[in-house]
Chain A
């Protein structure tokens, strides 16, 4: 696809703005900057409270890296599906676009399934948000990330329906593009969470002397 074609597709929307940038896209980027602060605050809360649990289960007892690696991989691939969907939508290949959007929905749902399994499994091991500070920070942070993914899935499902009906087309591909930005952002938040919560603290042991602190 040539460069001019891209511009023409957006012509309607951008012709009235002072910078020539799309309003919706600009707002989505601003929102993402805002969400950076949201997740930033939660991740720092997690890091500050890391290793300060007074009672178990501790991260090393519950976190399961192989399973989370699979779910991380699935979320990464959903980003790939997302970007392909956008590409085909701009190329006016309706069926492929719809299929890839559905792929995003499917992969996102599988990811949520993993998260549901994980939460359930942790609860069986005796870790709930009320158990200790690790449980508190872990569940609220990953839970809110899951909430973001869920919203993304619903949004994608709506767009898939639109693409199927032919109302989402190359000339309003911006709607899919901003949804895609949101989706990729959720993905990069997970990249950080996977590193910070899972890989870095998966071997965290009880803090030294914690038995004494309780008394």
Chain B
């Protein structure tokens, strides 16, 4: 506990919240997520050259095809709008989110690049998402009760 407090508040400033001194050469560790197991890890490492460097054209083209497929799915969902009914908007939002993450993570290299850039962009995204969701909520509530 004392160590924790020290890291947070101690006067010498060597605790957490420090930016690493030199992190340019350190890529993110390879994927070890819970989903997919060893097979997915192997695939991703193969495609992203071990997650070490920027990936190659093959990987980018695969991502491109993936994006195109998702877009096709979106349009398909549009055709089925009346059948999907209440699920329509959530499905579209999820598909858009997948595309968004794919472009940001792979094309904008956040997956391979220093984590600090992810923090920068994520902070903008989080503040934006929360604030504007709140705005939508308030406006809609005020509109309904008017």
| A54 → B minimal CB distance (Å) | 15
Say how far B5's CB is from chain A's closest CB, in angstroms. 26
Residue A156 at the chain B interface, CB threshold 8 Å: no
- Pick the contact of A87 from B19, B60, B71, B77 — CB < 8 Å? B60
Closest to A195 in B: B96
A18–B21 touching, CB < 8 Å: yes
Residue B31 at the chain A interface, CB threshold 8 Å: no
For A46-87 the 0/1 string (1 means CB < 8 A from B) is 011000000000000000010001001100110110111011
If A21-B116, A48-B140 touch, whether A73 touches B81 (CB-CB below 8 Å) is: no
* A40 pairs with B27, CB closer than 8 A: no
> With A25-B117, A65-B75, A195-B74 known to touch, is A188 a contact of B103 (CB < 8 Å)?
yes
* Any A CB within 8 A of the CB of B67: yes
Indicate if the CB atoms of B21 and A26 lie closer than 8 Å.
no
Contact B107 A69 (CB under 8 A): no
What is the distance, in angstroms, from B122's C-beta to the closest C-beta of chain A? 9
Q: Within the complex, which residue of B74, B117, B124 is in contact with A199, where a contact is CB–CB below 8 Å?
A: B74
A169 within 8 A of B: no
B54 on the A face (CB < 8 A): yes
Contact B128 A80 (CB under 8 A): no
- Our count of residue pairs bridging A and B at CB distance below 8 angstroms stands at 143
Residue from B60, B74, B121 in contact with A29 in the complex, judged by beta carbons closer than 8 Å: B121
How big is chain B's contact interface, by range? Answer: 35 or more
Q: B86 within 8 Å of A by Cβ?
A: no
In contact, A188 and B104 (Cβ under 8 angstroms): yes
Answer whether residue B68 sits at the interface, using C-beta atoms and an 8 A cutoff: yes
B contact residues around A73 at 8 Å (CB): 68, 71
**Would you call B54 and A6 a contact (CB within 8 A)?**
yes
Interface positions, chain B 50-107, Cβ under 8 Å from A, are 52-54, 56-57, 60-61, 63-64, 67-68, 71, 74-75, 77-78, 81, 88-89, 92-93, 95-96, 99-100, 103-104, 106-107
Residues of A within 8 A of B68 (CB): 73, 76-77
Contact yes or no, A19 B22, CB < 8 A: yes
Q: What 1/0 flags go to B21-42 for Cβ under 8 Å of A?
A: 1111101000000000000000
Please give, as numbers and ranges, the residues of chain A lying within 8 Å of B54 by CB-CB distance.
1, 6, 86-87, 90
Residues of chain B within 8 A (CB-CB) of A47 are: 136
Nearest B residue to A47 by beta-carbon distance? B136
| B8 → A minimal CB distance (Å) | 21
Contact assessment for B103 and A34 in the assembled complex, using a CB-CB cutoff below 8 Å:
no
The answer to whether B108 and A185 touch across the interface, beta carbons within 8 angstroms, is: yes
* Cα A29 to Cα B75 with chains together (Å): 31
Is the beta-carbon distance between B21 and A20 smaller than 8 angstroms?
A: yes
B: residues with CB less than 8 A from A are 19-25, 27, 52-54, 56-57, 60-61, 63-64, 67-68, 71, 74-75, 77-78, 81, 88-89, 92-93, 95-96, 99-100, 103-104, 106-108, 114, 116-117, 120-121, 123-125, 127-129, 131-132, 135-136, 139-140
